[in-house]
Structure formats: structure tokens, C-alpha cells
Amino acid sequence: MTNIEDHAKQLGKQTPLPDSPDAAQLDRVPNPHADTDYLARFTAPEFTSLCPVTGQPDFATLVIDYVPDRWLVESKSLKLYLGAFRNHGAFHEDCTVGIGRRLVSLLEPRWLRIGGYWYPRGGIPIDVFWQSGPPLPNVWLPDQGVAPYRGRG
């Protein structure tokens, strides 16, 4: 098996938050169970970015589900990548779909979906969902577990 340190360049080191998502380095590590279909989930309940028009902060819960093939995303690099959006101006759709596509490009998973559950902007919540293709029939896909926005009701 390939050495994890060959692929996880930031693991075990002090690493500053990247200046932007484009500057962020996402690392991958070999999947020790590449012969098995299973779902891995990352939930980022405090994701933030900036509105590209007003510069005001936007908040979301992101849920990333994927069925890995040869690679797993290294979690520290994912945290740093997601944190890099904190000072990045982009619409909800761009953030959510862009994150999904970048992960697919890096990992080449068997399947990936991302749900972006955004808090209201201008009184309207904007939830964004993207997936790389149809789900695999033999993989259990639990509900993403984020309740729809209900306001004060």
C-alpha cells in the first residue's frame, strides 16, 4: 500500500487557513477498502462564505456523502478547504456545486452527493443539492438529517 504521508501533505503539521478555496490544497489518501462499496459522510454544520454582492456572511450546514473508490479525502485538508470559503464571495449554488465537483475531480469516487442547507438570505432559505450521478443500488443512503428551515414556527 502507498504511504499515507505521500498523499496527506498537511497531516501532522501546523497549517494556516488558505487565503481562498482555489489556493487550498485538498489531500487524498488510499482507501484500504477499495473493494467494498460503502458510504462515507462529512457534515460541516458551521460552513460560512460571503455574499458576493453585499459582502455579508452566509451560513450553511453542508453534508457530503460519497462512495469512495481508490481514494479517501483527508479530513484535515477538507476542513482547511471548507474554512477557506470564510472570506470567499460566491452564491450558494456556486459554493455547493463547486465543492462537489472539486471533490469528484480529486477523488474519482464511485458516487458523491452534497447538500447545502443555507440559512435565509433576504428572508428565503436557498438549499442546493448536487450529485455526480445515480446512486449505487447496493449502498445504503441515509437521509442527510438536516431539517428543512422552519423559521420561528
Which residue range is the domain that position 49 belongs to?
A: 17-131
Q: Tell me if 49 is assigned to a ligand binding site.
A: no
Report yes or no on whether pTM surpasses 0.85.
yes
User: Domain holding 35: CATH number?
Assistant: 3.30.1130.10
Listed in sequence order, the residues at least 6 apart from 12 whose beta carbon sits closer than 8 Å to its beta carbon are: none
Within a domain: residue 21? Answer: yes
Within a domain: residue 72? Answer: yes
What's the CA gap between 147 and 136, in Å, rounded?
24
The count of structural domains within the chain is: 1
pLDDT in tens, the chain (153 residues): 455 556 667 666 678 899 999 999 999 999 999 999 999 999 999 999 999 999 999 999 999 999 999 999 999 999 999 999 999 999 999 999 999 999 999 999 999 999 999 999 888 889 999 999 999 999 999 999 998 887 765
Within a domain: residue 92? Answer: yes
H-only helix segments in the chain: 75-83, 92-107
Within a domain: residue 122? Answer: yes
Q: Tell me if 46 is assigned to a ligand binding site.
A: no
Per-residue pLDDT of 13-49, as tens digits, reads 678 899 999 999 999 999 999 999 999 999 999 999 9
What pLDDT shows up at residue 1?
A: 45
Within a domain: residue 76? Answer: yes
Task: Give the SS3 label for residue 121.
Answer: strand
Q: Tell me if 77 is assigned to a ligand binding site.
A: no
Average pLDDT for the chain: 92
Q: Tell me if 74 is assigned to a ligand binding site.
A: yes
What pLDDT shows up at residue 2?
A: 55
Q: Which residues are part of the catalytic machinery?
A: 51, 58
